[in-house]
Structure 1
Amino acid sequence: ILLKMLARVCSRHVYGSVRQMSNISNVETIIDSQSGIATVKMSQPPVNSLDKNLLTSITDTFKNLEKDSSISGVLLTSKFDGRVFSSGLNITDMFQQSDGHLAEFWSCVQEWYLTLYGFGKPLVSAINGHSPAGGCAMALMSDYRVMEKQKSIGLNETQLGIVAPFFFADLMIATVGRRIAEIGLNMGKLYSSEEALTIGLVDEVTDLESVVPNATKTLLKLTKIPQPAYKLSKQVQRNSPMETLRNDRAGDVALFVNIIQTSNVQAAIGGYLKALKQKKK
């Protein structure tokens, strides 16, 4: 009960002076004029699957927030409290699709990664649910991660018969170290929240009602660090993998299309989708 009261007090303090609310069909953005904090909530039912539409909405939202001088920092979370942060890249965008569709989809993935990982302002993820595959990668693009207890997170692509791209792998290596990342990536391991905290994949684990307040508290601290020092510090640490991608985006797209279109990968994706449908029944 006390935690509920504290969460409500914190919520009133942070969102008590809402300047504007921008609602796209699958992303909600709430801006607090007093703190300069923008809260971005993914809201694409049922599980924030990252299809072309959601990827584009998130990318466009962050590009606009980057340009808005009144914004000091961003909190990224999900509208679906306690269920899912994001289920990851939309697997149906990779199954029985044309080369052109796959190329367009992967270009959206690249732009999303470059925009969020290169975001110059403080970015904190409030992970209020499960966060596998691309959902994990998106959390890793932020500067600090607060996660709900007893949920799961990890780059589990190999379990689906596909491989995490090099820029996802780099996120994992930079966060937990090469050896732990290698084991996790090869096994397609999903970590519990508590395991993720132990290896440094997330920075805090707490109950659901404290995820957003705790994440906001850290974000407010980060916004006190002078700019452009904060942005330049991020660039120094993150520029190398982003430049690698920027220098050969077409080649990365071609590689993705070639891998996804192989018969064994298509069979693995098809098997996963079939199993998913049976599970829902």
Structure 2
Amino acid sequence: MSRGKVNAINEAFVDELGAVFSELATDADTKAVILTGGGKFFSFGFDIPELLNYSINDFARYLKKFCAMYTGMFLFPKPVIGAINGHATAGGCILALTCDFRIMVTGKAKIALNELNIGAAIFAGCVGMLKSAVGERNAEKVLLTGAMFTAGDAQRIGLVDSVTSEETLMAEAKKIADEFSQKNPDAFKTLKNLLRRPAAECFGGGEERSILDFIEIWYSEPTQKVLRGVMINK
């Protein structure tokens, strides 16, 4: 991913990343995918300043696209390795949750579903993905505290699978991707589908309801006041 300094997620970003994964899903030469960012950020999350200029209808369109994108990534038939090179917050953490294996750099980088801290909600599909990764109780801790986790703390609850240094991140990610690539692709696809089916049940009617709830809270006076104060160094 490469959009400015923090990989803030706008509508063009969603369209492009979704299209890339759709293409790679049917590309016979692609055996595994590594998802990473650049600099100090894996992804900041939503491009809040840009989205504040959207009408409610335009924002609803954006959210539906975003949810469709991460659904496709979560159910992607091939191995996806998340090389978390820096901060992965809110929507950035959601992108990380779609991956089959998450490796994160140690140091100052933090990972969080911190929507609550700005007065925002989250989507049903995200809750399903989070529970799949960390379990029911830890999912509650992640969402209801909005805590920012270091790589080590994230590993302890299952939010990431392993940690490494910035210098060795991509080498480690490529090694893991190579190991996954040796597996029988049809067997991998079938097993992944079986494992992710319970979480995928959150996608659908519950997702649509949660999008409506998200919009209502996003446009509430207290949340708008906080959002208008968010600055992104793009």
Q: When the two structures are superposed, what TM-score results if normalisation uses the length of structure 2?
A: 0.92
Question: RMSD in angstroms over aligned alpha carbons?
Answer: 1.8
Which secondary structure does the structure 2 equivalent of 1:208 belong to? coil
Q: State the alpha-carbon separation in 2 of the partners of residues 256 and 183 from structure 1.
A: 20
The correspondence for 2:223, drawn from 262, 265, 277, is: 265
For the structure 1 residues 170 and 255, does the alpha-carbon distance in structure 2 shift closer, same or farther, using more than 3 Å as the test?
same
For the structure 1 residues 250 and 130, does the alpha-carbon distance in structure 2 shift closer, same or farther, using more than 3 Å as the test?
closer
Verify: 1:140 aligned to 2:97, yes or no.
yes
Verify: 1:49 aligned to 2:8, yes or no.
yes
Shift in Å at residue 156 of structure 1?
0.8
Q: State the alpha-carbon separation in 1 of the partners of residues 168 and 15 from structure 2.
A: 29
Cross-structure match for 1:87: 44
Structure (1 or 2) with the greater strand fraction: 1
Contact 2:21 2:76 in 1 (8 A): yes
Contact 1:126 1:215 in 2 (8 A): yes
Verify: 1:116 aligned to 2:73, yes or no.
yes
Match runs of 1:48-197 below 5 Å: 48-78=7-37, 80-81=38-39, 83-95=40-52, 97-150=54-107, 151-197=109-155
Structure 2: give runs of 5+ residues left out of the alignment. none
Verify: 1:212 aligned to 2:131, yes or no.
no
Using the aligned pairs only, state the percent identity: 28
Shift in Å at residue 144 of structure 1?
0.5
Q: When the two structures are superposed, what TM-score results if normalisation uses the length of structure 1?
A: 0.77
Q: State the alpha-carbon separation in 2 of the partners of residues 200 and 248 from structure 1.
A: 25
Which secondary structure does the structure 2 equivalent of 1:124 belong to? strand
Q: State the alpha-carbon separation in 2 of the partners of residues 179 and 87 from structure 1.
A: 25
Which secondary structure does the structure 2 equivalent of 1:121 belong to? coil
The correspondence for 2:184, drawn from 213, 221, 226, is: 226
Considering Cα pairs closer than 8 Å and 6+ residues apart, tell me whether 1 or 2 has the greater RCO. 2
Shift in Å at residue 200 of structure 1?
1.8
Q: State the alpha-carbon separation in 1 of the partners of residues 125 and 208 from structure 2.
A: 15
For the structure 1 residues 248 and 168, does the alpha-carbon distance in structure 2 shift closer, same or farther, using more than 3 Å as the test?
closer
Q: How many equivalent residue pairs?
A: 232
The CA deviation string for residues 44-89 of structure 1, in whole angstroms up to 9 with x for no partner, is: 00210011111111100000000111111101111x24x1111112
Q: State the alpha-carbon separation in 1 of the partners of residues 96 and 6 from structure 2.
A: 15
